[in-house]
Structure 1
Amino acid sequence: MDKFSDYPTSLTAPARDAAPVAPDDALDLPVLPRALYIGQSGDVSLRLAGGQTVLFSGVPGGTVLPIRAAGVDATGTTATGIVALW
């Protein structure tokens, strides 16, 4: 039973779905996530929803980045176990 099923989903609400991310320099993520979970430490190169590309250096494993990322680049990304949350 979901006591919160009548509440609207918003960017500040907990994620309802998740999917693993395979970094790719050309492909966008199939769904624009509300955040990314970083499983294992490393650098993360992202293409943001606003069009910018940014490198987050030394992201610790277990971090949730509250980022609307259109894509995760393979080039420059050394972190693994990335999961999109929406």
Structure 2
Amino acid sequence: MDKYSDLPTTLTAPAREAAAIVPSDAADLASLPRAMFVGSAGDLAVVMAGGQSAMFRNVAAGSLLPIRVSRVLQTGTTAGDIVGLW
């Protein structure tokens, strides 16, 4: 039973969905996640929801980044086991 199923999903609410992210230099994500989980340490190259490119260097394994991205770039990304949270 989910006592909170009737409440709206907001950016501050816990994520309800998760999916593996495969980095790509050409394809945007189907929808913008509310956060990213990085399972294996490394660098994360992204295109932010606002269109800016960003590099998050030395992201530790197990990090939860509260960023909204339209794309995780293959070039420059050395982090692995990336999961998008919606």
Same fold (TM over 0.5): yes
Alignment of 1:1-86 (within 5 A): 1-86=1-86
Q: CA deviation at 1:31?
A: 1.2
Structure 2 segments unaligned to the other structure (5+ residues): none
TM-score (norm 1): 0.98
TM (normalized to structure 2)? 0.98
What residue ranges of structure 1 are gaps of 5+ in the alignment?
none
How large is the RMSD of aligned CA atoms in angstroms?
A: 0.4
Query: Deviations 1:29-52 (Å, cap 9, x if unpaired)?
Result: 111100000000000000001000
Aligned-residue identity in percent: 56
Aligned length: 86
In the aligned structure 2, how far is the partner of 1:46 from the partner of 1:64?
15
Which string of whole-angstrom CA distances, capped at 9 and with x for unpartnered residues, describes residues 29-82 of structure 1?
111100000000000000001000000000001001100100000000000000
